[in-house]
Amino acid sequence: MKGIKNLFEIYIEIVDGTLIFDNSYGKHELIAQKIENEEVMVFDADKFNQLKKML
């Protein structure tokens, strides 16, 4: 849980890019991505919001 907290509260704003995947069922599913100075692009809002609720 601490890693998810750090992702949203610290790292997502300071890194050049990130990919957030759900690999819960052995199949990698891209939830969101951030590339350089762009905003975070969310591909699965439900899963992204579930992660944020874990804070």
Spatial CA neighbour of 7 closest among 20, 23, 26, 24 = 20
Confidence of residue 52 (pLDDT cuts 50, 70, 90): very high
Segment 8-39, tens digit of pLDDT: 999 998 999 999 999 988 899 999 999 998 99
Give the pLDDT of residue 51. Answer: 93
Judge contact between 15 and 34, C-beta under 8 A: yes
Is 43's pLDDT higher than 90? yes
Give the residue carrying structure tokens 């992204």. Answer: 48
Taking the C-alpha atoms of residue 4 and residue 52, their distance in angstroms, rounded to an integer, is 8
**Domain boundaries in the chain?**
2-53
Q: Is the pTM of this model over 0.85?
A: no
The confidence score (pLDDT) of residue 41 equals 97
